[in-house]
Copies of this chain bind each other. A is one copy, B any other.
Amino acid sequence: MAPRSRLHVPHPPARPGQEPDFSYLEISPAGAVNRPDITAAVRDIENLSLEMVRVLDDEHRSVGPWNPHLEAEELQVGLRHMLLTRLFDDRMQKIQRQGRISFYIKSTGEEAVAVAQGMALQPTDMLFPSYRQQGLHVVRGRNLVDLMCQCLSNTRDMCKGRQMPIMYHWGSGNIFTISGNLATQFPQAVGWAMAAAIKGEDRLAASWIGEGASAEADFHHAMTFAAVYQAPVILNLVNNQYAISTFQGFAGGEHRTFAQRGPGYGIPGIRVDGNDFLAVYAVTQWAAQRARASAGPTLIEHVTYRAGAHSTSDDPSRYRPKEEWQAWPLGDPITRLKQHLIVLGEWSEERHARLEKELEAYVTACWKEAESYGTLTGGPALDPLTMFEDVLKQMPPSLVHQREELRALQASAAKQPHSAPSVAKKG
């Protein structure tokens, strides 16, 4: 066999020890991209998928046709949600490091995606997130205690101890249950939207997928079904540059933007500065108007950066320069919105510091309450016998039997081990 090879292998711009290099990233100036009518034909608006919609300029002013002209209060709410999401993430990560929960996934650096989008949608719209849009729960007013209890698998866990941390759901909040299997939610959201259209309802569905997961079959199914039935759905591809260790080139992002997948299927694609709260809000509004006007689905690529590790099982210093986040040309979404509000005269460093303190205290209070409902290692605990419920709506005889077997076992065993000290890697 010849040692020579002509197989192309994508290379990330930088490895640990090298200078961060984001020269591959094509960035449009703020305000530069036109905002077409929602009824425009795909072929007339292909530029949206190649350029980058941006509203906040380098002086932190909002400019151009995509400026959503939000009230200052609304921006403050957005800032608050993003900050709360970040502080919540930081706390939970710390708690995981202490071994008090088994796993965690932060959304640091990407808060604008979930928060701006959540705010641009109606509460009745149905959301099918991946595991990195906890901001949606924050926007919709979820009590953080609920999220924490899920991470703790305690007596108030909405998942009754069945799922790993961060696999939230919220029926009344219209947020779907998260799966461990990547990408599966994407075509489900399309099916949900098809049903809404069949019923003639005005609700839309939105879903989120990582750029890495977009290589899965489900992405293709979602795009195809959405295009064929012109389903009222917003399909969000969050390109945070990394899957776990592999950069976006391994998902097919080397030669073309992910937003360009849209036009390939006859679906408008929009590439947006995912760290620009106003731009994300604006494109979401545009896509939502399209969906509500029966004008069809939209694919949005959010260009952002995963500032933290993939999860608490991951150590990114093994595969990328530590300094990348600082070098990321689109900045930090929280800082940018904060600076914008300051420029508007609607915010200050002092107010920000005060808010941060307030939210920190709130997170602390929530955690205290959550812990009172039990932890992995102590306090009140869920009854293990509940594990036999909800497999089917009605428990079949075999499961009744197995539950009784476990009940008897527990009765006979003086002490049955209840938890493991070891926590290994999870993807």
Contact = CB atoms under 8 A, between A and B. Distances in A.
Interface string A233-261: 00000000000000001111011100011
Contacts of A221: 215, 217
Nearest to A255: B266
Contact of A220 (B219, B229, B266): B219
B201 A2 contact: yes
Given A2-B201, A228-B250, A255-B227, A194 B263 contact: no
A294 interface: yes
Contacts of A425: none
Interface string A23-55: 000000000000000000011000000100000
A99 interface: no
Given A42-B255, A266-B255, A5 B198 contact: yes
A194 to B, nearest CB: 6
Contact of A229 (B8, B42, B194): B8
A251 B2 CA distance: 41
Contact of A294 (B2, B6, B42, B262): B6
Interface residues of A, number: 49
A246 B125 CA distance: 32
A1 interface: yes
Contact of A2 (B42, B199, B224): B199
Given A266-B252, A266-B255, A7 B217 contact: no
Given A2-B200, A199-B1, A256 B251 contact: no
A252 B224 contact: yes
Contacts of A267: 255
A230 interface: yes
Contacts of A9: 229
A232 interface: yes
A278 interface: no
Contacts of A232: 6
A328 interface: no
A383 to B, nearest CB: 39
B256 A42 contact: yes
Nearest to A260: B264
Contact of A252 (B6, B7, B50, B228): B228
Interface of A: 1-10, 42-43, 50, 194, 197-201, 215, 217, 219-221, 223-224, 227-232, 249-252, 254-256, 260-267, 294, 296
